[in-house]
């Protein structure tokens, strides 16, 4: 089994603050709506799988207290530099979302954007349980899942693991793991009774708001 961290470390390690294009790497559109409709001003928000910090940056600009967690040190290091350069406050910690290193009930909101797809199904289940542990009783979670369809021509570059997760062993995505969620699986992962809204963008990304 590959170590999923290696793929992401590589991906972020060459990012340069000087040439970072914020117009290209703006926040996920669904995040803007999530803030408008669900988050109280100034609350503490956890960005799980924060990557290079584009969403954390947006949250911080809107006045939230931002915490970022990612498995990849290179993404966190970039996020920290970005926040320092702009004089923003943010706490960035390395770790995996299936063992979140924060106390019980400490966040009003959690976002996990385009990240759960890149874990084994069982890791995603543990991550859901950890999110609920660190979420305040009236807190809200925003999750996104990539489109279900994948070009069939890449499938000869990936091995299918027993839980249906793809593990890429060659090609551009070598080292990546990707679980193509069916809607039903998302419902099962999150628990239908916890879902506040489930939307699909034109491109097929699933946006789930839940408790």
Ligand X SMILES: C[S@@+](CC[C@H](N)C(=O)[O-])C[C@H]1O[C@@H](n2cnc3c(N)ncnc32)[C@H](O)[C@@H]1O
CB of 40 to ligand X, least distance (A): 22
Q: Using the rule CB under 6 A, is 143 a contact of ligand X?
A: no
CB of 183 to ligand X, least distance (A): 20
Per-residue string for binding with ligand X, 27-46, x by CB under 6 A? -x------------------
Task: Report the alpha-carbon distance of residue 64 to residue 55 in Å, rounded.
Answer: 11
- Which one of residues 34, 54, 90, 166 is an interface residue with ligand X (CB under 6 A)? 54
Q: Considering only 77-85, 111-119, 130-138, 163-171, which stretch makes contact with ligand X by CB under 6 A?
A: 111-119
Residue 65 backbone dihedrals phi, psi, to 5 degrees: -90, 115
Q: Using the rule CB under 6 A, is 75 a contact of ligand X?
A: yes
Q: Using the rule CB under 6 A, is 97 a contact of ligand X?
A: yes
| Nearest alpha carbon to residue 119 among 205, 178, 191, 161 | 178
In the complex with ligand X, the residue whose CB is nearer, 69 or 210, is: 69
| Tokens encoding 73 | 């040190």
Task: Report the alpha-carbon distance of residue 55 to residue 60 in Å, rounded.
Answer: 9
Whether residue 109 contacts residue 43, with contact meaning beta carbons closer than 8 Å, is answered with yes
Q: Using the rule CB under 6 A, is 70 a contact of ligand X?
A: yes
CB of 145 to ligand X, least distance (A): 11
In the complex with ligand X, the residue whose CB is nearer, 176 or 190, is: 176
Task: Report the alpha-carbon distance of residue 81 to residue 84 in Å, rounded.
Answer: 5
Rounded (10°) CA dihedral 169, 174, 176, 179: -50
Q: Considering only 57-65, 108-116, 129-137, 158-166, which stretch makes contact with ligand X by CB under 6 A?
A: 108-116
Whether residue 4 contacts residue 71, with contact meaning beta carbons closer than 8 Å, is answered with yes
Task: Report the alpha-carbon distance of residue 66 to residue 54 in Å, rounded.
Answer: 12
Residues that bind ligand X (CB under 6 A): 4, 8, 28, 49-51, 54-55, 69-72, 75, 96-97, 113-115, 118-119, 123
């Amino acid at each position: 089994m590959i170590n999923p961290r290696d793929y992401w470390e590589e991906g972020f390690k060459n990012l340069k603050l000087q040439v970072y294009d914020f117009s290209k790497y703006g926040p996920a559109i669904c995040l803007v709506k999530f803030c408008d409709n669900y988050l109280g001003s100034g609350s503490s928000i956890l960005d799980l799988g924060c990557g290079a910090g584009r969403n954390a940056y947006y949250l911080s600009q809107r006045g939230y207290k931002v915490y970022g967690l990612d498995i990849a040190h290179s993404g966190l290091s970039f996020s920290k530099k970005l926040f320092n350069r702009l004089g923003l406050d943010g706490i960035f910690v390395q770790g995996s979302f299936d063992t979140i290193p924060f106390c019980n009930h400490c966040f009003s909101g959690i976002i996990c954007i385009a990240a759960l797809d890149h874990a084994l199904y069982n890791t995603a289940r543990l991550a859901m349980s950890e999110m609920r542990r660190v979420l305040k009783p009236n807190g809200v979670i925003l999750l996104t899942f990539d489109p279900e369809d994948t070009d069939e021509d890449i499938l000869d570059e990936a091995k299918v693991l027993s839980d249906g997760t793809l593990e890429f062993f060659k090609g551009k995505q070598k080292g990546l793991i990707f679980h193509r969620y069916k809607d039903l699986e998302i419902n099962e992962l999150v628990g239908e009774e916890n879902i506040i809204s489930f939307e699909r963008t034109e491109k097929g990304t699933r946006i789930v708001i839940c408790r």
